[in-house]
Structures are given as structure tokens and as C-alpha cells.
Amino acid sequence: IKKMVVIIYFILGVVFLALALCGIVVPLLPTTPFVLLALYCFDRSSKKFHNWCLNIPFIGKGIEDWTTNRIIGLKAKVQATILILISALVIIFRSALVMELKIVTLSILAVVLVFLLTRRSQQ
């Protein structure tokens, strides 16, 4: 049964990593939470894949900064802020969502933005 759990964690890690990579190009699909979930799953199934993810240039440095120093890189913070603001504008002006869903979505974006902007930055 332990082997089956390891296999399930590995498969979930691959799925979450694929979603994270899609999130790089698909608006409103978050990248970071999926990367963190993938790392969590790989940590429990394959140290090789866990280390491989940490060595991906656009993933590993940010994860290392966050886990060791609770710092978000300034470039990442600026990019995330711009994308959040663009997403909010799209939701407000172009979305066919009902007003209640717009309010919920915009509230979530606002909370994420406040969290992001209140974290320390590194140049």
C-alpha cells in the first residue's frame, strides 16, 4: 500500500507541475500554488523530481527565496501585480460572470494582491 501511495503522489506531482506550466501562459490560472503542490507531492514520492523542479531556473530561485527567507523577488512581485490588475480589469469590463461571482473573484484577487505587496522584496 505504501508503494501505491508513492505512485499516487508522483502522478499528482506531474499533474500539478503540468498545471503550473500551463499557468505561465493561461491568464487567471495560478502558477505558484501548483508548483508548491507539485513540490509537496514530489517530496513524498521522488526526491529526484523534487530536486529537478528546484533546479528549474524560473521556479527554483523563487521557491528557495520564499522557503529560506520569506522573500519575493521584486521582478516577480511586479509581474504578479501587473497580471492581477489586468485580470481584475478583464473581470470588471469583459467578463460574462454574474455580479456575485465578479465580486468574489475580485475579492480573492485583492487579498492575494495585499498579501503579495506586504511581503519583503529582494532586488
Tens of pLDDT, residue by residue over 33-71, are 888 889 899 999 999 988 888 888 877 788 888 778 888
Query: pLDDT value at position 20?
Result: 87
Query: pLDDT value at position 34?
Result: 86
pLDDT over threshold 70, residue 114: yes
pLDDT tens-digit readout, 10-40: 999 999 999 988 888 876 677 878 888 898 9
Kindly give, in sequence order, each residue whose CB lies less than 8 Å from that of residue 120, ignoring residues fewer than 6 positions away.
Answer: 69, 70, 71, 72
